[in-house]
Amino acid sequence: MMTWTGIARREHSREGLRYPSDMMDGEWALIVPFVPPAKRGGRPRTTDMREVV
């Protein structure tokens, strides 16, 4: 059985995230290439795509 070390706790800490489903920076880095860019023309995007995903 593996126990939680201080280092592992810091690496997997979810403190500072608003919701349990919020992504950490490393998780977002894996997903962001698949998020479509804002369309050209029209109003600029005001929605934070990270919060939507």
Give the model's pLDDT for residue 28: 92
Alpha carbons 43 and 9: distance in angstroms, whole number: 42
pLDDT digits (tens, 9 = 90+) for 1-53: 678 888 888 777 777 777 777 888 899 999 999 999 998 998 898 988 888 88
Residue 15 phi/psi, 5° resolution? -65, 145
Asked if residue 34 is part of any domain, the answer here is yes
If one counts the domains in the chain, the total is 1
* Overall pTM surpassing 0.85 (yes/no): no
What are the residue ranges of helices labelled H in the chain?
Answer: 6-11, 25-31, 49-52
Query: Containing domain of residue 18, as a range?
Result: 6-51
Asked if residue 17 is part of any domain, the answer here is yes
Asked if residue 1 is part of any domain, the answer here is no
Is there a contact between 49 and 31 (Cβ–Cβ < 8 Å)? no
Give the model's pLDDT for residue 1: 64
